[in-house]
Every structure is written in structure tokens, then in C-alpha cells.
Amino acid sequence: MNWLIVLRPARVGMLTEGATAEESAAVARHFAYLERLATEGKVGLAGRTTEDDDRTIGLVLLSASSEEEAREIMSNDPAVASGVMRAELQPFRVAVKGS
């Protein structure tokens, strides 16, 4: 089953003014976490919009066997667990997939 995680920075200033050392470290751990999940086949894609303001969102297309597993993966994301990013989870149906 597919899930969509929508991520938003908890502090927009992280993008507009620059990240604190704590935020930078959390984002680095977040990226490594997503890369590991991608190698495990759990993350199909991940990325963010290119604005650096309050419109910025990140998206993660996640494959998980249940909502419980998807929520656990989302909650264990270092950026979410540290409060640097806020996250919401939605079930997602892929309608078109490129090669």
C-alpha cells in the first residue's frame, strides 16, 4: 500500500534566514534516513518544492504494509522526531507511473 507524507518546516526561518546547527543536523539525518528507506524499497521518491518560504513542502512516496507501519516510519524520521519538520500522512493511489 502507498502512502504520501507531506512535510513542512516547523520554522520557516530555517529556509528564509538559514538553518540553525540543530536544524542542519536533523535535515542531514532526515536525508540519510530517506536514502536508507529507498534502498530498502520503502521510499519510491522524495523531494521538496523549490520555494524557500511558507509555501515549501516536501513529499515522500512511501510503501508500507499498514497505516501503523507508515506512521511509525514517519514518526521516526529524524526531522519529524526532533520537531524540525511537521508531517502529515495520507493514503495514496498511484494512477500513472512512468518507466
What structural domains does the chain harbor? Answer: 2-89 (3.30.70.1060)
Instruction: Give the pLDDT mean for 66-70.
Output: 98
Spatial distance between the Cα atoms of 55 and 80, rounded to a whole number of angstroms: 18
> CA-to-CA distance for 38 and 34, rounded, in angstroms?
6
Q: What does the block give as the cell for 41?
A: 524499497
pLDDT of residue 99: 81
pTM of the predicted protein model: 0.94
**Enclosing H/E stretch for 13:** helix 13-16
pLDDT in tens, 10-59: 999 999 999 999 999 999 999 999 999 999 999 999 999 999 999 999 99
